[in-house]
Structures are given as C-alpha cells and as structure tokens.
Chain A
Amino acid sequence: MDFELMINSFPKLIGATVITLKLLSVSLIVGLFIGLLFAILRLNKNFFINRFAYGYSYVFRGTPLLVQIFIIYFGLGQIEYLRSTILWAILKEPYWCAIIAFALNTGAYTSEILRSAFQTIKPGIIEAGKSLGISNKIIFYKIQIPIAIRQSLPAYGNEIILMMKGTSLASTVTLMDLTGVAKYIISTTFKPIEVFIVAGGIYLFMTFIIHNVIKFLEKRYSY
C-alpha cells in the first residue's frame, strides 16, 4: 500500500469530482424535463405520438451509453450541414456532447419512471378532483404531478445513482472527470489499487449522500 500516493492523489481527485458533479447536475435537470415531456407523450392517446415516445425510450434504454456518447461526439461532427450552423459551437465541445448524451439517456429512463408513476395514480383521485369542479390543467399540475413525484422518488433515486456512475463515461471523450483523472494517475503510477480505493471511496460517498437525501425526501413527502 502506497499511502503517500493515496494522500497526494486525493486533492486531484476531489478537483475532478467537481466536473463529475457538474456533468451530473446539468444532465439530471435537462433529463428531468425531457423525461416529463416524454412521459406525457407516452400517455397521449394518439398512436403516432405514443409510438414515437416509446421508440425514443426503447432506443436509449436498449443501447449502451457509450454508443450514444460516441454517436453524438464523433458522429454528428461528420454532418457538414451541422458544422455550418450555430449548433456546432456546442457540438464541438466534448463537455456539451457528454451532457447531451447523458440528458437524453437519463431522460429515457426518467420518462419510464414517471409514466408508470402517472399510471398508478388511482382514477378515483382524478375523478374526485373533477367532481369538485377543478379544471383539468390544475388537476394535472396540482394533483397528478405531486403524486407522481412522490411515487417515483425511490426509482428516481436509483436513476440518479446510475447516472452518477454513467458520468464516468465522459472520460472516454477526453473529459477529465473523476474516473478520467483516476485513470490518468493509474496509468502514470501503475498503482491501480490505491487509486481505486480513493476514487471509489469518493464515488461511494456521493452514492451515500444521494441515497440519504432521497430517503429523507421520501419520508418528508410520504402520506
């Protein structure tokens, strides 16, 4: 055990954790909106809209995240047209490519979680709202969404942890996130176990925090 290396690499790894957390938070926020949008589309009665939303979640859940990042980072740059548009400013940055891939990926999983949460709401609750003369819009925003959020908290907590682990793939497109820096230190010092313990410990700590925050929220919003 090389304790000196562990102590020396700690600040570098903590610095890289900031990038991991940035990637995670931005893609979770964007992914939540995508997920909500597609969950609503899934519940739409129009066959084509419904199938489109299903196809989106099927493709993004059925392929590895690594493929998705590579298509966006390496693939999209190949389209000449894209290079001439304003979008290129975003797509040439590995940081934004990773976030787009993560957001689309977590959006697909989130849409499934939210859809099933919406579907488990008892029809009686919505009917009660209607019979009280509440408009459909307010039923949706004030009754359905809060209940769905509560229902989906445990599953969404898991998704946050999975996404946190997923951000490690950013290192494959040259970003120096926690895993990227860990790999760099391993490949320069050839001390995989020491670095794994420190970097893995940081990841576990984040998992622990996320897990407890979700547990707290579950308790707070339980009825």
Chain B
Amino acid sequence: MELLAFGDTGWGDELFRATLMTIAVSITAMLIGFTFAAIFTPLKLSKYKSLNYIANTYTTIIRGVPELLVIYLFFFGGSGAIMFVASMFGYNEYIEINAFVTGSFAIGIISGAYSTEVFRGAIQSIDKGQFEAAEVLGFSKFKKFYKIILPQMLRLAIPNLSNVWQITLKDTSLISVTGLVEIMRQSYIAAGSTRDPLFFYSFAAVLYLLLTFLSMKLINRLEVKYSRGY
C-alpha cells in the first residue's frame, strides 16, 4: 500500500494522473472516431459504387491490420507527413507533434472504422417506412435526418457503441509504446523503478477493470434514456 501513497513516497498521484490521461485519450479518440464515422457512414450507404468502395477500403484495412502497426505508422510517420504538408506551404522547420495528438489520432481512426460499421448497421435497420413517411410529410432533408433518423439510429447504435468504447479504451494501452504517460506507461515506469512489476501491472489491470465497469454503468443509463417510448 505504501507504493500507492500520494506525494513523493508513492505512485498514487502519478497513477491517478495517468488514469485521467487514459480517459482523456479515450474520449478524444472516440470523438475523432465519430468524426470519421460521420464522413464514412454516408459513403457506405451511398448509391454510388465508387463512394462505397472508398468507405469499404477504410473499414477493411483498419479492421484487418493490427492496431499496434497503425500506431507505429502514426508514431514514425506522423511528423513526416505534417512536415511534408507544411513544406508545400513553404514552412521547412522541424515539426514535432506530441504523443497525445498522434496517439488519439491513431486510436481515433481505428475506433472510427468500428463506429462506421455500427452506424451503418443502425441506419440500415431503421424501418424503410420511416424514411418514406418523412418524405411524404414534406420534411426537408436536414430535418428528416435530425428529427427522425438520428434519434432512432442512436437508440439502435448505443449498445454496439458501448462495445466500440470498450475496444477504444483498451486500445489506448497500446499508445504507451509512443511514450505517452497513460496507465500502462506509468505502470511501466513505476515497475521499473520499484522492481515490482507484478504489483503495478496487476494494479493497472484493476484500473482498467474499474474504468470499463464504471463506463458500462454510465452507458446503461444512456441506453435507458434513448429507448424512452419503446
């Protein structure tokens, strides 16, 4: 227990901050993922074959290639890509992007592929009559989406999105290879300096379990909220 004391003598406060970092990266990655899903879900559902093809390439690659490899691509290739773009605008200094941005972007792209599939499934399982009814009633395209499709889609998507959240949360542990101090990295540092890996990695496992447990509780509440009227 001394090992977990807050302050200079223990690792309590460091691990607490690391846990906050894990939560921050997970949420950022999830939001980036939603942005990708918002772009690729319409492409998947589009009637144009070429647009479907683009979206399918994205989801197939991400779901078929290990997360760690994607993270290495971003970790080693990220600043190179940014510098290449910047050089086109005449900026030739060295640019370093921090581990938080690289990490949440890499995990976000992965999480986005899963979210895209979830949203696609949810929209496809909405009754066709709902779309037709909205059109017959003269809703504008915008209103049709926000007032009729989106609420029904969310209800159907939330249970599967909670899976995506769990996957995303666990995937953030992989960012530790880039040096971002989240739960895994902090445990690695603590384990190295105290020579007590068993304790710190087990404690990390407990922290992850706690996070998944608490987020499940929260998501269940959301589920209840969005299934009002059913």
Contact = CB atoms under 8 A, between A and B. Distances in A.
Q: Do the two chains belong together in a single complex?
A: yes
Interface of A: 58-59, 62-68, 70-71, 74-76, 78-79, 161, 164-169, 171-172, 179, 182-183, 186-187, 190, 192-193, 196, 199-200, 203-204, 207-208
A66 B174 contact: yes
A91 to B, nearest CB: 12
A186 B72 contact: yes
A200 B61 contact: yes
Given A64-B171, A204-B61, A196 B69 contact: yes
Contact of B60 (A70, A71, A204): A204
Contacts of B170: 63-65
Contacts of A196: 69, 72-73, 77
A200 B65 contact: yes
B64, B170, B177: residue with the most chain A Cβ atoms closer than 10 Å: B64
B208 interface: yes
Q: Which DSSP category, helix, strand, loop or mixed, fits chain B's interface?
A: helix
A74 B61 contact: no
Nearest to B206: A63
Contacts, number: 113
Contact of A67 (B64, B66, B184, B196): B184
Given A169-B68, A192-B72, 10 more contacts: A66-B176, A71-B198, A76-B198, A161-B63, A161-B64, A179-B68, A179-B69, A182-B69, A192-B73, A204-B60
Nearest to A211: B64
Interface residues of B, number: 37
B202 interface: yes
A60 to B, nearest CB: 10
Contacts of A58: 209
Nearest to A171: B68
A193 B73 contact: yes
Contacts of A179: 66, 68-69, 72
Contacts of B65: 165, 200, 203-204
A70 B197 contact: yes
B211 to A, nearest CB: 9
B25 interface: no
A168 B66 contact: yes
B143 to A, nearest CB: 37
A185 to B, nearest CB: 10
Interface string B65-81: 11111001100110010
B173 A165 contact: no
Interface in B179-230: 184, 187-188, 191, 195-198, 201-202, 204-205, 208-209, 212-213
A203 B66 contact: yes
A88 to B, nearest CB: 15
A200 B77 CA distance: 15
Interface of B: 60-61, 63-69, 72-73, 76-77, 80, 166, 170-171, 173-174, 176-177, 184, 187-188, 191, 195-198, 201-202, 204-205, 208-209, 212-213
Nearest to A182: B69
Contacts of A182: 69, 72
Nearest to B77: A192
A59 B170 CA distance: 12
B77 A193 contact: yes
B208 A67 contact: yes
A59 B197 contact: no
Nearest to B198: A75
B67 A165 contact: yes
Nearest to A197: B73
Contacts of B63: 161, 207
20 contacts: A62-B213, A63-B170, A64-B170, A64-B171, A66-B174, A68-B205, A70-B188, A71-B202, A74-B201, A166-B66, A169-B68, A179-B69, A182-B69, A183-B72, A186-B72, A193-B77, A196-B77, A203-B69, A207-B63, A208-B64
A78 B64 contact: no
A108 to B, nearest CB: 13
Nearest to A74: B197
B171, B191, B198: residue with the most chain A Cβ atoms closer than 10 Å: B198
